Structure 1
Amino acid sequence: MYNVLTLNKIAPIGTDRLGSNYSYGNEVENPDAILVRSAAMHDMEFADNLLAIARAGAGTNNIPKDKCTEKGIVVFNTPGANANAVKELVLAGLLLSSRKIVEGIEWEKTTLKGNGDAVGKMVEKGKSQFVGPELRGKTLGVIGLGAIGILVANAAAALGMQVIGYDPFMSVPNALRLDPSIKLMKNNEEVMTNCDYLTIHVPLTPDTKDLVDADMMAKMKDGVRILNFSRDGLVNSTAVLEALKSGKVAKYVTDFGTDDILGEENVICLPHLGASTPESEENCAVMACDQVKEYLENGNIVNSVNYPAISLPRNTNDTRFCVMHKNVPELLKKVLSELNGNIENMLSKSRGEYAYTILDVAGADKADAEKIAAVDGVVRVRVI
């Protein structure tokens, strides 16, 4: 029996897939795995038996990944599961940034209400203050062409926009999914200095924090419209407010409202609605639960953010050893020397300073695991 703790509400369509060999819920004790959406985990203490944490979403800033890696806890996310939901909201953001829709709605609610038959004439007289440009023919810059960025880029191209983009980690499969009209640039700056609209779809890391700062905005086109539906911190809020006041930036639309930008002119803040659709929540729940189940039962890793992707078909007649260890020379050789049985199948992959090895062994038992765990540099050993 496996115990799975849910820190947030996880759609039943996901947890139902775990099966009868699982106990799950928000009061489960001594969990083998944790399912989480937005709950902050940095101050949590993890028991030694915790094996995995799955984030039902793409970002994992709420999870202490370094701590998990050191303890041999695999952290999963669900890339692409909420991509369509975010794409649709970004398209809405593009329209909101251009057509002064929010301002027009507020004007009608606060100024026109109560004027009876005069409302129609007031509308015709006052609507010119809400004029905004069309998207067709304008240039959209897309920073980050992953699961979400590609969908946004392709949808914008279908709307008649000229689309340019950059992603230093562009994969061949992703490149093949791009609309042929989309032009790939050499770096972020080349995108940001040549677009009328900018949308950002990268994770928040020390390298991407303040990706759009005062210096970068100064190089951008006058009247550029900036959208941030990825993570707070990618756009420097102080700099964007100054750029809005000067007219350098025409509009800032973000899914991450902070106190300093709420209510400011030409800023539209949404309450983190990117993945807030029933379809997205179900997709994330299914993917997260499937990944946890596959790891707990077979040791295979799919969509981890701290350990390598690795999958080895299972021969149920053999004992499977799952070894997490430092990625250093000769260590794996020492691990193999501790096995008494015959190795039928093996796969080992590394990610940065750590590696993960799956060994299917005939004639081995749990006593071998204790010897492997004693090898200097081994983080964790599981026997399945």
Structure 2
Amino acid sequence: MGKRQLHKLSAREAETITQSGRHSDGGGLYLAIETGAHGRRQWVFMYRVRGTGKRREIGLGSAKGKSKDGLSLTDARLRAADARKALAEGRSPTADRRADVVAGTTFGEFADIFLASIKAGFKGRNTFVDWTRDLKVHCKPIRAKELADINSNDILEILSPIWMTINRTARETRSRIERVLDAAEAKGFRSGKNPATWKTLKPLLPKAKRSKRHHKAAPYKDVPGIVRALNAKHNMAETTVNLAAEFIILTAVRTGEARFMRVREVDFAERLWTVPAERMKAEVDPEGNDFEVPLCDRAIAILKAVIPKDAASDAYVFAGQWSSDHSKPLGMNAVLHALKAVYPAMTTHGCRSSFRDWVGDETRFERDIAEMALAHKVGDETEQAYRRSSALKKRRQLMEAWGRYVGSASNVIALPRRAS
């Protein structure tokens, strides 16, 4: 049998062929071309496994084309020659190729791929931005370093400059590096102890003081006056943001949960607002169910005032200033600015603190009911599941009482329905 022909393709042909399919250069080397949206051009090596005759295929890299990026024909032939040599010596070209890829993979390359793979699971809108900042900016010293070569000294080089000054960012960066390296180990790109674990780094870093961030809150005795001021501003300027601020006070929810509230989430018959689980800050239900918010009379009146009669089910309830069709929500800081305009020493999250203080000081409602109204986890999973049905009834009583308190001291202002 004659020897198989090698070097069937010319350099020009290798760069200009556009027909889809595999184009043989001989000796197991092929130029694989895909047409369509991706239009990929790739060098592949095909061989049969000794003893079984099974066909195997390994990618050698992208091929040069019009963009001139990728492997040239000469480079591809060298890689194919290495694969044939491995076969002649009884080794697996696939295993050799895998070892080459693993050995050459840097932290930056792997981190970018890993981040893209987990992005869909992020809940917060800024989470991806924060991850990108940490893995690209703070991890710059190790991005070009191979995964297998990263050690605890490399991690310390990243953390030490920011550990005492921006400790929260430093802790988040360490945690994200640890997760990337764990994933790299699971994929076979490195082995051994993860140098980014807190157990490894704790003895090497100074103890940083963590300052608790307290959200400014008004004494609950001032809340009725704040709401009256919001109403007065609304009557003068007809601004949705003031009603949104009042609604947030009445329901004690987080700002983001109200900003992205959609018409379909409101059940006027049941006087209930159902917040989808994916929009909650944390899962408050052992089974990951949605969170139900009972609505008092005033909260219902606000919703009827701001939702147009012909609103689509996916329209935002509290629309942005220039969104007459309710296709865009209120701006991120709009409610905060509305509150500060009537009470400078107040934040939206502080409204929740005011509510919690009022429950503890002025009512006999159980502590757990107040915590559940704030969407905080209470008890273990069994207790949460057991209390779910009865808690809604008690929370409704609590929120109605809070609504009456907030609307006390002549805080009764007629609110006409806004025009569609």
TM-score bin, normalised by smaller chain: under 0.3
Output the TM-score relative to the length of structure 1.
0.22
Structure with greater contact order relative to length (CA < 8 Å, sep ≥ 6):
1
Larger Rg, first or second structure (1 or 2): 2
Q: What TM-score does the superposition give when structure 2 sets the normalisation length?
A: 0.21
Report the structure, 1 or 2, having the larger helix content: 2
Could you say which structure has the higher strand fraction? 1
